[in-house]
Amino acid sequence: MSILIYAESSEGKFKKVALELASYAKKVADSMGTSVTAVTINAGNTEELSKYGVSKVLNVSNDKLNNFNAKAYADVIKQAAEKESAKVIVLSSTTDSKYLSPLVAVNLNAGFASNVVALPESTSPFQVKRTAFSNKAFNVTEISTDVKVIGLAKNSFGLVEDSVSLAEEVFSPSLNDVDFGVKVENVEKVTGKVTIADAEIVVSAGRGMKGPENWGMIEELASVLGAATACSKPVSDIGWRPHSEHVGQTGKPVASNLYIAVGISGAIQHIAGINASKVKVVINTDAEAPFFKVADYGIVGDAFDVVPKLIEKLKTF
Ligand code: FAD
């Protein structure tokens, strides 16, 4: 009986969340006297996982799985869990894993807890701490089913190196043709930009920027920091920025290490989606803007004055 993780990869490289899952699962496994197995799908060099405590990898390699397919992937994870007699399965909270986790839980007749942010409070009974109400509250949830599925919130645990020796195995689960009735034929990727999902730092801007012609400084600040760019809802609604950059309750969630908000008022719907970010910096002319109440650092000032100075200073580091 081991703990199983699904180690997500992209273009043959493990996503950071895969290493975070491994770190988390290793600690849970230690407390339960067991080990961590990872199932990978068309991943490259799996050695990296062993640095974070994974002692066995089930490598699935199949061209039919080149593009994400929730039903087929969930079936693969189910078969891996059954093969390993895994009682705890840990997935991430990426968009893909948010699709997968409930399917995996249904497939395995398991209880599922999403948005888990810490190691289990107890493993017998099995109780986990989760966020609720857009990260405004926590609750402790007990999963009483024999098999348990956990969705770990991104960036909630971090990476913890704990090298172990690795056993690799080729795993060839059966695939169900019905799962491929609808399939993605082609994926066009935006290249050269850090995506909001993967970003450690996000530079986000709102209506305070006055117009799309002023986004050059936001992009430059993001580029200097190696950050992704994001925006408030009205900014994408009026077409200043693409909808893919809209963050908040009705947009993409952000759980970055650093979130810089420029000219964003901090409406409750915006905060709901970015609250999980570790450090929040706000630049706003209005000292009464609600964003300052949740900010770790705030600059009361004009973005057109502050941002260029910030870029200039950061370039000297
Ligand atoms: P504004 O509210 O207009 O704020 C602009 C800010 O810029 C002000 O605080 C102002 O002081 C500041 N400013 C002006 N000039 C400067 C300057 N030169 N330098 C620095 N600061 C300056 N919003 C989201 O963002 N995400 C969501 O997911 C979302 N979902 C929603 C869902 C629902 C159901 C509803 C009703 C609303 C939702 N909203 C969402 C909208 C939200 O309520 C706010 O209207 C929106 O976030 C405001 O965007 P903003 O801060 O860019 O603009």
CA of 265 to the centre of ligand 1 (A): 5
Over residues 210-216, mean pLDDT? 97
**Quick one: CA dihedral 95, 97, 102, 107, positive or negative?**
positive
Position 185 pLDDT exceeds 80? no
Q: What is the pLDDT of residues 110-141, one digit of tens each?
A: 999 999 999 999 999 999 999 988 778 999 99
122-123 and 126-132 as β-strands: parallel, antiparallel, unpaired?
Answer: antiparallel
pLDDT at position 145, please?
A: 98
**pLDDT band with cut points at 50, 70 and 90 for residue 183:** confident
pLDDT at position 2, please?
A: 87
Q: What is the pLDDT of residues 289-298, one digit of tens each?
A: 999 999 999 9
Of 202, 203, 233, best ligand 1 pocket probe by most atoms within 8 Å of the beta carbon: 233
Ligand 1 atom at minimum distance from 291 CA: 9
Over residues 226-254, mean pLDDT? 95
Q: What is the chain's Cα-based Rg? A: 21
* Tokens encoding 157: 């645990």
Ligand 1 atom at minimum distance from 306 CA: 19
DSSP string, 53-65: TEEEEEEE--GGG
Position 303 pLDDT exceeds 90? yes
Of 204, 207, 254, 305, best ligand 1 pocket probe by most atoms within 8 Å of the beta carbon: 207
Query: ipTM of this model?
Result: 0.99
Q: What is the pLDDT of residues 40-77, one digit of tens each?
A: 999 988 999 999 999 999 999 999 999 899 999 999 99
Residue bearing the CA closest to ligand 1, atom 33: 269
- Residue among 152, 42, 134, 164 nearest 97 (CA): 152
* Tokens encoding 198: 């993967």
pLDDT at position 189, please?
A: 65
Residue 292 CB less than 6 A away from ligand 1: no
**pLDDT band with cut points at 50, 70 and 90 for residue 192:** low
pLDDT at position 168, please?
A: 96
Position 316 pLDDT exceeds 90? no
CA dist 102 and 80 (Å) reads 16
CA dist 8 and 21 (Å) reads 10
CA dist 158 and 15 (Å) reads 13
The DSSP secondary-structure symbol of 135 reads: T
pLDDT at position 135, please?
A: 78
CA of 268 to the centre of ligand 1 (A): 9
What residues have CB less than 8 Å from 112, skipping those under 6 apart?
101, 102, 104, 105, 143, 148, 149, 150, 151
SS3 250: coil
**pLDDT band with cut points at 50, 70 and 90 for residue 82:** very high
Residue 248 CB less than 6 A away from ligand 1: yes
- Residue among 294, 49, 92 nearest 198 (CA): 92
Residue bearing the CA closest to ligand 1, atom 18: 302
The DSSP secondary-structure symbol of 191 reads: P
Over residues 9-26, mean pLDDT? 93
Q: What is the pLDDT of residues 150-175, one digit of tens each?
A: 999 988 999 999 999 999 999 999 99
The H or E element spanning position 205 is strand 201-205
Residue 2 CB less than 6 A away from ligand 1: no
- HEC sequence for the chain: CCEEEECCEECCEECHHHHHHHHHHHHHHHHHCCCEEEEEECCCCCHHHHCCCEEEEEEECCHHHCCCCHHHHHHHHHHHHHHHCCCEEEECCCHHHHHHHHHHHHHCCCEEEEEECCCCCEECCEEEEEEECCCCEEEEEEECCCCEEEEECCCCCCCCCCCCCCEEEECCCCCCHHHHCCCCCCCCCCCCCCCCCCCCEEEEECHHHCCHHHCHHHHHHHHHHCCEEEECHHHHHCCCCCHHHEECCCCECCCCCEEEEECCCCCHHHHHHHCCCCEEEEEECCCCCCHHHHCCEEEECCHHHHHHHHHHHHHCC
CA dist 51 and 159 (Å) reads 10
